[in-house]
């Protein structure tokens, strides 16, 4: 038997909590829709059709998917592009877009990348975005993979565009020369402005 009056006991009794459930389901729906909107934005940033237009007929069967490395929310994008099936032993184009704290921070990030890249071959500083670096290097974990890299900043965004050319004998190469990445990077910079 309780010492509290019955009216107070009724008020303190557990109730069906409609509001938290409604809030939670609405919150999850909003989260899902914002994630879908972010993914849609990332899908539109660089499309397989853009690659086909820039690279020609050799890029006719390009497919794209989120890489799964980071969630595509809050201005972050992480996309993979490949010819046909995705497997880790095939050529692939990787697009990563990350927000920085400020325009100066984004430029400084690319500047640090450029300082590190001076030791690699094909080093150049193309006029793409606010600050850019372009270089080639062997993959440190797999010497059968050549990486062609363009990193640049646009406003508060840092963009990394990398093509991995795998010496595997497959007929799935869609970037032959490193300079073929520059029109794609220029297109990305224009779309991020």
Q: Does the residue 7 lie in any domain? A: no
Q: Taking residues 141-154, what's their average pLDDT?
A: 90
Q: What percent of the chain has pLDDT over 70?
A: 79
Tell me: pLDDT of 179 over 50.
yes
* Residues 35, 41: Cα–Cα separation, whole Å: 10
Domain count of the chain?
1
**Which tens digits make up the pLDDT trace of 79-111?**
999 998 887 778 999 999 999 999 999 999 999
Domain at 83, CATH number: 3.40.1000.10
Helices (H), the chain: 6-12, 18-45, 48-55, 103-117, 181-192
Range of the domain at 123: 31-192
Q: Does the residue 178 lie in any domain? A: yes
The pLDDT assigned to 142 comes to 79
Q: Does the residue 177 lie in any domain? A: yes
The pLDDT assigned to 8 comes to 47
The pLDDT assigned to 114 comes to 98
Q: Does the residue 54 lie in any domain? A: yes
The neighbour count for residue 51, using CB atoms within 10 Å, is 23
**Which tens digits make up the pLDDT trace of 12-69?**
555 444 444 433 344 434 344 344 434 448 999 999 999 999 999 989 899 999 999 9
The pLDDT assigned to 84 comes to 81
Q: Does the residue 5 lie in any domain? A: no
The neighbour count for residue 32, using CB atoms within 10 Å, is 10
How many angstroms separate the Cα of 11 from the Cα of each of 6, 40, 72, 80, 115? 9, 47, 44, 56, 67
Q: Does the residue 55 lie in any domain? A: yes
Q: Does the residue 77 lie in any domain? A: yes
Q: Does the residue 17 lie in any domain? A: no
The pLDDT assigned to 28 comes to 39
């Amino acid at each position: 038997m309780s010492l509290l009056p019955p009216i107070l006991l009724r008020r303190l009794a557990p109730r069906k909590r409609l509001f938290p459930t409604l809030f939670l389901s609405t919150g999850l729906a909003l989260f899902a829709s914002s994630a879908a909107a972010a993914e849609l934005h990332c899908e539109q940033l660089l499309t397989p059709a853009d690659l086909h237009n820039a690279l020609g007929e050799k890029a006719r069967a390009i497919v794209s998917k989120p890489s799964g490395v980071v969630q595509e929310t809050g201005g972050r994008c992480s996309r993979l592009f490949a010819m046909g099936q995705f497997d880790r032993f095939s050529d692939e184009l990787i697009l990563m877009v990350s927000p920085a704290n400020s325009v100066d921070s984004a430029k400084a990030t690319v500047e640090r990348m450029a300082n590190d890249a001076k030791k690699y071959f094909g080093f150049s500083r193309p006029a793409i975005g606010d600050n850019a670096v372009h270089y080639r290097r062997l993959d440190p974990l797999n010497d059968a993979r050549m990486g062609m890299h363009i990193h640049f900043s646009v406003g508060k965004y840092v963009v990394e565009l990398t093509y991995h050319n795998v010496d595997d004998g497959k007929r799935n190469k869609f970037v032959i020369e490193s300079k073929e990445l520059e029109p794609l990077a220029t297109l990305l910079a224009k779309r991020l402005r």
